[in-house]
Amino acid sequence: MDSLLFNGSIWVNVDVALRHIDRILSQVVRPLDLDVIGWYVLRALYQKEGHNATELAYAVGRVPTSFTSTLDNLEHNQLIERRPDPEDRRAVLIYLTPKGESLRKKVLTIAKQTDRQFHNLVSESDWQAFQSVLAKLQGSMAESET
């Protein structure tokens, strides 16, 4: 077994792994003129459009208060648009533009290839166990935010 930092501290080791993955993902999405968070936002909008900014921030694991610049950048690059919420005139909803939609196939292909690359690092049973642990960690974090 590979050694883990700080006597196996889950938080340090998840953070270190995430930073390595983030560097890889940054290189992978660079040809699309995206950063990793922008890539996540597009993937979330491909699943369901019309999120408000807070929902979208949580969907991609970000704090809503620091998310505006991400949306501004995507809007500046004409990948998303903000539309008034018909049910709450103070709020806006986020939608893909035609340009954002045109990246769907490339974004999802890169996602599938990258997931496969990471999946191939471990056995199928380890991968399934890892997915289960991630789901539990995400669930416990979501519960603590409410």
**For 23-63, what is each residue's pLDDT tens digit?**
999 999 999 999 999 999 999 999 999 999 999 999 898 98
Residue-wise pLDDT tens for the chain (146 aa)?
568 888 888 889 889 999 999 999 999 999 999 999 999 999 999 999 999 999 999 989 898 888 999 999 999 999 999 999 999 888 899 999 999 999 999 999 999 999 999 999 999 999 999 999 989 888 865 555 55
pLDDT of residue 141: 58
List the domain boundaries for the chain.
Answer: 10-110+122-145
Topology adopted by domain 10-110+122-145: Arc Repressor Mutant, subunit A (1.10.10)
Q: What is the reported pTM?
A: 0.85
pLDDT of residue 2: 67
pLDDT of residue 138: 81
pLDDT of residue 146: 54
The DSSP line for 71-135 is: HHHHHHTTSEEEEEETTEEEEEEEEE-HHHHHTHHHHHHHHHHHHHHHHTTS-HHHHHHHHHHHH
Contact between 51 and 85 (Cβ < 8 Å): no
Give Cα 12 distance to the centre of its chain. 20
